[in-house]
A and B are shown apart, each in its own frame.
Chain A
Amino acid sequence: MKILTAIPKPLRAWVLPVLLLITWSVYGHVADNLSPAYVSILSVFERAYLLLASNELQLALEGSLTRLIKGLAIGAFIGFVVGGLLGASRLLDKLFGPSFNTLKQISLFAWIPLMSIWFGMGDTGKVVFLAMAAFFPMVVNTYEGVRSVPRELLEVARVTRLSRWQVIRLIVLPSAVPSIFTGFYLSIIYAWLAGIGAEYFLSSSPGVGTLLIDAQEHFLMDQIIVGVTVIGLVGLALNASAGRLEKSLLNWRGKSTATY
């Protein structure tokens, strides 16, 4: 307890990474026969510099992020609409809910063969796959949010004679926003993970996943570590920017789901 409180707050999150780096470099100095899979921290930085200097990393990021934004926009939007409709209408829920729940059970990667035949191995196939990854969590959480609007507030809406659209705009949507945001976070994460996966399974075009595959093929341990780190950092940045957006929309709550 004393150890932890001795570390200033903003630095606490760095405890684990720093310990990891120290172990890493100490291991390199003290180990007798290093495995060929071992690379020093320095060579990882060198590789990162080389990838940046040759513009390879920027191109890879640009490719991955462009597909992410396209897929996320399409998937999250359709997911929001579908989830909202299923949540708002008992009829639609009865008609399509069971089918949706069946589809949801299918592993995302099981769609890849179909996606590649329908939409090709290029960017379109990948974007569709990403959109699917973003779609499901958005539907589930939007549905949940719309369904769990407090009955008490709906009664207030009846007493104050709000119309159907006013109820949706003033009561249902705001009350569902926290849940919708949870869905959006998951969509971002799923889409980002699926995007890297898609680069593995669908033929290569510039991307961070492709960078990793190349590194694996040529046994470039340093490039693998650069790639993994970049994927993690991008994920972190995506989560943080979504958190900022949520905070501005949900200042009535003062708590964010982004931190979980």
Chain B
Amino acid sequence: MSKAGHLNLNHLYKSFHVKDKTLSVLEDINLSINPGDFISIVGSSGCGKSTLLRLIVGLEEDYQGDLLLNGQPIVGTSLDRGIVFQEHRLSPWLIVEKNIGLGLVNSKISDAEKASLIREHIELVGLTGFETAYPHQLSGGMSQRVAIARALVNRPKVLLLDEPFGALDALTRSHLQQELQKIWEKEGITMILVTHDVEEAVFLGNRIVVMEPRPGRIKKVIDVDLPYPRNRNSLAFNHLREQVLAEFGEDAQGSDETNVALLEPGIDLWRFSW
């Protein structure tokens, strides 16, 4: 059994119906993704990159064209396809183990095997020792590691990542990017990462798909031949980064991140209770 999946997108169209209008979100997407590929999809907001991921994972339906995994059309969700969202989406009432185990609830394997798979994946994402912690006890980066473990625990053929590190601080982000790259090499599965961070796209992807918005189309596919692990400071890396940036022009420079000033709660008798 091949661990990775071969994905084929042929003349894929997707539109949403808003009131009486039809809004075209994706137009004529053609992409062939080989088993074990790491595809980075970049584009400014509104280019339909998240919709594309949601189509592949099976959360969106009603598309035109072909969407095939190993030759079979994708219908609904499947344990063959895991996803990590931008938010960790952990159940706050479940400890780390149980959150990861959510992916195994319907696996037809013994409880002992489930337990060992969970243990393995906790180790894979570097969270040994936090098995029984509740999500509110974890940092943002740790929560996202749990989400990655939850998506990987069924050993899916394809792992989809929808801006998984977008909400994390720069240090945690680059750390997790390195770890994700190692996991990809170790597991040998197909990964598709959606991001608006060009550096992240170049650091991780062996192919970069640049999309343009309204309606979402593929503008260019760039192959990245740099060996892993990549050096962010190398000339070739920066050359590629420039090349990708040039592809989607000025709107890529603007970052979506906003700084939220955190108010330090002082010890003041007259403060509001929240």
A158-B92 in contact (CB<8A): no
Checking B77, B94, B134, B269 against A161 with a beta-carbon cut-off of 8 angstroms, the contacting residue is B77
A254-B136 in contact (CB<8A): yes
Summarize B's interface: helix, strand, loop or mixed: loop
B91-A159 in contact (CB<8A): no
A162 to B82 CA separation, bound complex (whole angstroms): 14
Checking B58, B87, B93, B269 against A4 with a beta-carbon cut-off of 8 angstroms, the contacting residue is B269
Residues of B within 8 A of A43 (CB): none
Residues of B within 8 A of A29 (CB): none
Checking A153, A155, A171, A252 against B134 with a beta-carbon cut-off of 8 angstroms, the contacting residue is A252
A166 to B105 CA separation, bound complex (whole angstroms): 9
* CB 8 Å contact bits of B69-87 with A (1 = contact, 0 = none): 0000000011101110101
With A162-B105, A252-B134 in contact, is A153–B77 under 8 Å at CB? Answer: no
With A152-B87, A253-B92 in contact, is A161–B79 under 8 Å at CB? Answer: yes
A158-B77 in contact (CB<8A): yes
A153-B89 in contact (CB<8A): yes
Residues of B within 8 A of A5 (CB): 269
The number of residues on chain B lying at the interface, defined by a beta carbon within 8 Å of a beta carbon of chain A, is 25
A170-B87 in contact (CB<8A): no
Residues of B within 8 A of A21 (CB): none
A174-B83 in contact (CB<8A): no
A9 to B78 CA separation, bound complex (whole angstroms): 55
B183 close to A (CB within 8 Å): no
Residues of A within 8 A of B89 (CB): 152-153, 155-156
B57 close to A (CB within 8 Å): yes
Question: In the complex, how many angstroms separate the beta carbon of B112 from the nearest chain A beta carbon?
Answer: 20
Q: Which residues of B contact A (CB under 8 A)?
A: 57-59, 77-79, 81-83, 85, 87, 89, 91-94, 102-103, 105-106, 134-136, 150, 269
| 7 CB < 8 A contacts A-B | A156-B89, A159-B58, A159-B82, A160-B79, A161-B105, A174-B94, A252-B134
